[in-house]
Structure 1
Amino acid sequence: MKPESKPDRALIVVDMQAKLMPHIEHGERVFRHCAALIRAADLLHIPVLFTEQNPHGLGATVDGLIGERHRSIEKHTFDATLCPEFTAALPSRNTVLFVAGCEAHVCVLRTVRGLLRLGYTVELVADATGSRAPENKAIALARAQQDGAVPSTAETVIFGWLESCRHPRFKDVLALVK
């Protein structure tokens, strides 16, 4: 019996921007979970793609998130999949896309729905996703799940990426969630 091959994985971080983040409910926690996901992805060689909604108005991505090997795409549509540069940067459709960022009920939800429409498997990382108002986030998470996104948390995703405590990067990654 042939073992199943693991699907490819990629992390998409939506609009974690300087002028927006101070207004996000529990923004520090959303930032911390996003940062852990990004660092874990880097340690495990999982690609990370950032979007920035109208960066001239909302500022660039918050300091400390984007690294040298990351790509950031400027967009002006709420659904990033309506931006040709974004869709051109997406990996193959057999890739599971893990999505985090802000705001849950606008750009994150629209992008998740667009990715599902394109045929991707999407995991929406709830604790690494934020909105200004809690009811907007709650409705967005429910809507995304109803549309086919799999709800998750940063730790669930990170330990799923590791698969085992015997992974050579286990201790490095574990330090990110402690």
Structure 2
Amino acid sequence: MLDRNKTALVIVDVQGKLATLMDDSHTLFHNLSVMTQGATALKLPIIWLEQLPDKLGSTIPQVADHLSGHTPIAKNCFSGCQSAEFMDALQSSGCENVLLVGIEAHICVYQTAMDLLDKGFHVEVITDAVSSRIANNKTVALNRMQQAGVALSCTEMVLFELQQVAEGESFKKILSLIK
């Protein structure tokens, strides 16, 4: 079971026009919004990555609007782990578990997940909050990550796993998000 005191949410590159080209982008955007708001309600550390924001644009409003008080980390590498600023933020969070959401599943999410595993983190990819332009690319990426030891979960499952009890303000918020 995940422990909310040891778990961080990492949002990978949900930016600009590229985000709108993702397979089933409507569902993706909804689940990204729910994950971001749910992580905030649970008081999880949130680390927010943007790939070449000067070229790809900024994070979509469905996510960015829920990240006040956070600043994106710009990167030019596919794996977030190749960014010293990202690794510093993750290590300073003290978290052992990383929830990954974002795009594209078979490039930046995949490479970040593999590097995090290599660094000893427990990694869970939230399958309904990641995507690729081509559905099969997402499927291949999820299969490869799972074979390597990445856990797969979904938005509702992981939020309730972290919540653990049906009470409190965070529970009320999560309940309102998934209804």
Secondary structure (helix, strand or coil) at the match of 2:133 reads coil
For residue 29 of structure 1, the aligned residue among 27, 30, 36 is: 27
Corresponding residue number in structure 2 for 1:46? 44
Runs of 4+ aligned residues of structure 1 deviating over 4 Å after TM superposition are none
Q: What is the total number of aligned residue pairs between the two structures?
A: 174
Structure 1 residue runs of 5 or longer lacking an equivalent are: none
Structure 1 residue 161: deviation in Å? 1.4
Query: What is the letter of the counterpart of residue 84 of structure 1?
Result: A
Alpha-carbon offset, residue 94 of structure 1: 4.8
Q: Deviations over 1:39-90 (max 9, x none)?
A: 0111111111111111111111111323223231101111110111111111
Q: Does 1:77 align with 2:83?
A: no
Q: Deviations over 1:21-53 (max 9, x none)?
A: 111000111111011011011111111111111
Residues 123 and 150 of structure 1 are in contact (CA less than 8 Å); yes or no, is this contact kept in structure 2?
yes
TM-score of the aligned structures, taking structure 2 as reference length: 0.92
| Alpha-carbon shift at residue 169 of structure 1 (Å) | 2.4
The residue that corresponds to 1:58 in the other structure is: 56
Unpaired runs of 5+ residues, structure 2, are: none
Cα separation, 1, equivalents of 2:159 and 2:150: 17
The structure whose residues are more often helix, as a share, is 2
TM-score by length of 1: 0.92
Query: 1:93–1:120: 8 Å Cα contact kept in structure 2?
Result: no
Q: Is the 8 A contact 1:124 1:151 kept in 2?
A: yes
SS in 2 for 1:11: strand
User: Could you tell me which residue of structure 2 aligns to residue 153 of structure 1?
Assistant: 154
Alignment-derived partner of residue 17 in structure 2: 19
Identity score, percent: 34
| 1:97 counterpart SS class | strand
Contact residue 7 and residue 96 of structure 1 kept, 8 A: no
**Structure 1 equivalent of residue 89 of structure 2:** 89
Deviates more, 1:131-140 or 1:87-96: 87-96
